């Protein structure tokens, strides 16, 4: 075999042989793939447009009364008008539409009790309650407990006196559950109080402090 280095200008350099058939196939395959991608993008645009059109249609339905979005809610004794999505939870409405951020969101799935509010005096997880289902009910949040002159509710005061909270994140929910208990049962036993607060988790483990607070509030009342 010759050691001579072959270059493309060398007459002995083998000219590349192209088979126009496969090349044409490749080109057409690329072209068709490009067309396919264009088609996918185009169909995506069509789908988005359809979604937009559907959204507009939904808005139209809403504005014509098919979906009533403007609700009148009774919160802390006041009437509040608020635009509520059909799938919106009460916790979201309270915190992000009405700025009542005393209601906390912990798990957002009915496990921790941080979002507890009163609905017709019954303690309820607001993260698991659709706002549309409470339009005719009386809602009380932690902001609605203190008196007009700023006097704290007995449960709030007892929480301070007993040094109930540690980090405080679960405290609004604990208080709301305790208030619901004392409205239904002004003289609970400690076990009844423990049961009433059993749906409220405290990651700081301040359970005994909270129970002491509930019992103190019951005595004060
Ligand atoms: Fe509602 Fe945890 S945030 S139960
Ligand atoms: Fe911290 Fe209860 S005081 S989670």
In a domain, 15, yes or no: no
Distance from Cα 112 to the centre of ligand 1, integer Å: 5
Query: How many whole angstroms separate alpha carbon 175 and alpha carbon 144?
Result: 12
- Which protein residues are within 6 Å of ligand 2, measured from CB? 165-170, 202-204, 206
- 107 and 57 housed in the same domain: no
pTM of the model: 0.72
Instruction: Quickly state the pLDDT bin for 2 (edges 50, 70, 90).
Output: very low
Q: What distance in Å separates the CA atoms of residue 125 and residue 111, rounded to the nearest whole number? A: 9
In a domain, 178, yes or no: yes
Residues 121 and 182 placed together within one structural domain of the fold:
yes
Burial tier of 180 (Cβ tally within 10 Å: 0-12, 13-18, 19+): buried
Contact 126, 94 (CB under 8 A): yes
Based on the fold, state whether residues 111 and 153 are members of the same structural domain: yes
pLDDT tens digits for range 114-160: 999 999 999 999 999 999 999 999 999 999 999 999 999 999 999 99
Q: Could you tell me if 154 and 107 lie in one domain? A: yes
Give yes or no: residues 111 and 216 share one domain: yes
How many C-beta neighbours within 10 Å does residue 87 have?
A: 9
Range(s) of the domain holding residue 179:
101-130+140-220
- Are 109 and 214 in the same domain? yes
The continuous run of DSSP H or E covering 82 comes out as strand 78-83
* Ligand 2 center–CA 206 separation, angstroms: 7
Any alpha helices (H) in 64-206, and if so which ranges? 90-92, 154-161, 171-184, 190-196
Asked whether residue 144 falls in the same domain as residue 49, the answer is no
Average pLDDT, rounded, for the chain:
81
Choice from 116, 200, 203 to test ligand 2 binding pocket (greatest atom count within 8 A of CB): 203
The structure tokens listed for 60 are 């139209």
Residues 110 and 215 in one domain: yes
Domain endpoint, select from 12, 42, 67: 67
Ligand 2: distance of its center to the CA of 70 in Å?
Answer: 35
Does 203 map to a domain? yes
| 10 Cα to the center of ligand 1, angstroms | 80
Cβ-Cβ contacts under 8 Å for 40 (sequence gap 6 or more):
none
Domain boundary among 67, 89, 116: 67
| In-domain check, residue 39 | yes
Based on the fold, state whether residues 198 and 155 are members of the same structural domain: yes
Give the side-chain half-sphere CA count within 13 A for 79: 4
Q: Tokens at residue 173, please?
A: 């929910």
Could you say which ligand is closest to the alpha carbon of residue 112? Answer: 1
Query: Of 107, 116, 140, 120, nearest to 199 (Cα)?
Result: 116
State the DSSP code for 143: G
Handedness of CA 109, 167, 104, 205 (dihedral sign): positive
Q: Residue 66 — very low, low, confident or very high, per pLDDT cuts 50/70/90?
A: low
106 and 207 fall within a common domain? yes
Across 24-37, average pLDDT: 48
Is residue 145 a contact partner of residue 152, using CB atoms and an 8 Å limit? yes
Q: What is the CATH number of the domain that holds 176?
A: 1.10.150.120
Ligand nearest to the CA of 91: 1
Distinct helix (H) and strand (E) counts, the chain: 6, 5
Provide the percentage of residues in the chain whose pLDDT is more than 70. Answer: 70
Cα–Cα distance list, 15 to 9, 10, 18 (Å)? 10, 10, 9
> Are 63 and 155 in a shared domain?
no
Quote the number of domains for the chain.
2
Tell me the C-alpha distance between 181 and 179, whole Å: 5
Give 60's contacts (C-beta < 8 A, 6+ positions apart): none
């Amino acid at each position: 075999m010759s050691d001579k280095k072959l270059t493309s200008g060398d007459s002995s350099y083998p000219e590349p042989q192209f088979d126009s058939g496969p090349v044409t196939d490749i080109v057409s395959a690329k072209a068709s793939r490009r067309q396919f991608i264009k088609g996918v993008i185009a169909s995506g645009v069509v789908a988005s447009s359809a979604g937009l059109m559907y959204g507009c249609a939904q808005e139209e339905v809403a504005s014509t009364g098919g979906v009533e979005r403007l609700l009148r809610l009774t919160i802390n004794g006041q009437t509040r008008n608020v635009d509520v999505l059909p799938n919106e939870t009460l916790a979201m409405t309270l915190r992000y539409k009405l700025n009542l951020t005393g209601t906390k969101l912990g798990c957002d799935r009915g496990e921790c009790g941080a979002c507890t509010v009163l609905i017709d005096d019954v303690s309820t997880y607001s993260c698991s309650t659709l706002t549309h289902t409470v339009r005719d009910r009386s809602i009380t949040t932690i902001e609605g407990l203190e008196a007009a002159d700023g006097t704290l509710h007995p449960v709030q005061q007892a929480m301070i006196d007993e040094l109930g909270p540690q980090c405080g994140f679960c405290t609004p929910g604990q208080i709301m559950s305790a208030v619901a208990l004392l409205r239904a049962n002004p003289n609970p036993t400690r076990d009844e109080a423990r049961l009433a607060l059993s749906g409220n988790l405290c990651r700081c483990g301040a359970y005994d402090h909270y129970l002491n607070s509930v019992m103190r509030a019951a005595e004060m009342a």
